[in-house]
């Protein structure tokens, strides 16, 4: 039976295969002009980064949901889940542009969304663990570099996930290593290098700058194997659901 994590991984792998197909299609010197080939590689790199970021967020959200589902009472969940969800929900609401007096349908929809988001986090922090607060809870402000990845899982009391995945076969084989610590160092370097190149592409006006198809294919392989190692790790450490009793409203501050 497939786990929630493996289903997300399957979708991620399908998206990676689509990006790989684009790279291979334009790697032939006969496939369009040089500028076309460079543009295709650069676009694929940006898409690869966005796809990877969404994959990591979905894995972190699923893990956070599992942690909450495994708790019988509000007081049993990691304290950082509630406090972070509250803070980020309030930050989201504070960013909304509310034009008082606007009665348009789009503005009414904005009000409805704001009310739903507030009610969800309010009821969650009052003890209703069925509320969906995970979109605001799991959110990255920056590129999905190692520290950002670790931060998304640390909210749920899973520390240094980038180190935890490095004793798994997919990454050990990728780096031809037997020692997790050396694999960890190479993983950190690989992720940092990828996002550095991604940022150079995003911020460069010169379209002729490109990582080259071979390097992007290597990036795809690294992110794919990281995904497999992450899935294996989460399936190992995820807490199992318990029969949840009716939650008492928490008395502790956020």
Average pLDDT estimate for 217-225: 97
pLDDT tens string 151-165:
999 999 999 999 999
156 located within any domain? yes
- Examine residue 251 and state whether it is found in any structural domain, yes or no: no
Structural domain includes residue 242 = no
Share of the chain above pLDDT 70, in %: 89
Q: Which residues neighbour 103 within 8 Å (Cβ) at sequence distance 6 or greater?
A: none
217 assigned to some structural domain: yes
Q: Does some domain include residue 105?
A: yes
**Position with higher pLDDT, 147 vs 40:** 147
pLDDT in tens, 6-26: 999 999 999 999 999 999 887
Per residue in 19-48, pLDDT tens? 999 998 877 777 677 788 888 889 999 999
Question: Which residues, including other chains, have CB under 8 Å from residue 124's CB and lie 6 or more apart?
Answer: 82, 85, 131, 133
pLDDT class of 245 with cuts at 50, 70, 90: very low
In 3D space, the residue among 254, 34, 58, 77 whose CA is nearest the CA of residue 139 turns out to be 58
Whether 249 shows a pLDDT value over 60: the answer reads no
Q: How many separate domains does the chain show?
A: 1
Q: Residue 194's domain spans which residues?
A: 4-237
What is the value of pTM for the model shown? 0.88
In a domain, 126, yes or no: yes
Range from 92-106, 120-134, 136-150, 189-203 carrying the lowest mean pLDDT: 92-106
Residue 149 included in any domain: yes
Summarised one tens digit per residue, pLDDT across range 104-145 is 777 788 888 899 999 999 999 999 999 999 999 999 988 999
In a domain, 76, yes or no: yes
User: Can you give the pLDDT at residue 251?
Assistant: 41
**Cα atoms in the Cβ-side hemisphere of radius 13 Å centred on 232:** 15
Q: Looking at residues 59-81, what average pLDDT do you find?
A: 95
Could you tell me if 75 and 170 are in contact, meaning their C-beta atoms sit under 8 angstroms apart?
Answer: no
* Residue 32 phi, psi (nearest 5): 80, -175
């Amino acid at each position: 039976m497939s786990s929630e994590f493996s289903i997300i991984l399957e979708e991620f792998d399908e998206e990676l295969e689509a990006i790989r197909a684009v790279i291979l299609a334009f790697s032939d010197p006969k496939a369009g002009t040089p500028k076309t080939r460079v543009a295709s590689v650069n676009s694929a790199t940006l898409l690869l980064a966005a796809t990877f970021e969404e994959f990591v967020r979905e894995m972190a959200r699923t893990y956070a949901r599992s942690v909450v589902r495994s708790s019988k009472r509000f007081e049993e969940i990691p304290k950082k889940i509630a406090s972070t969800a509250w803070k980020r929900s309030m930050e989201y609401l504070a960013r909304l542009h509310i034009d008082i007096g606007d009665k348009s349908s789009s503005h009414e929809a904005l009000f409805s969304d704001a009310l739903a988001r507030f009610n969800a986090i309010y009821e969650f922090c009052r003890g209703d663990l069925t509320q969906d607060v995970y979109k605001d809870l799991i959110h990255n402000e920056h590129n999905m570099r190692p520290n950002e990845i670790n931060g998304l899982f640390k909210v749920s009391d899973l520390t240094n996930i980038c180190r935890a995945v490095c004793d798994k076969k997919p990454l050990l084989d990728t780096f031809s290593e037997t020692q997790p610590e050396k694999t960890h160092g190479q993983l950190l370097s690989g992720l940092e290098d990828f996002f550095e190149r991604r940022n150079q592409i995003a911020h460069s006006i010169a379209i002729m700058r490109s990582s080259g198809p071979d390097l992007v294919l290597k990036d795809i392989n690294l992110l794919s194997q990281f995904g497999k190692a992450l899935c294996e790790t989460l399936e190992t450490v995820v807490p199992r659901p318990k029969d949840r009793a009716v939650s008492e409203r928490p008395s502790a501050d956020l």
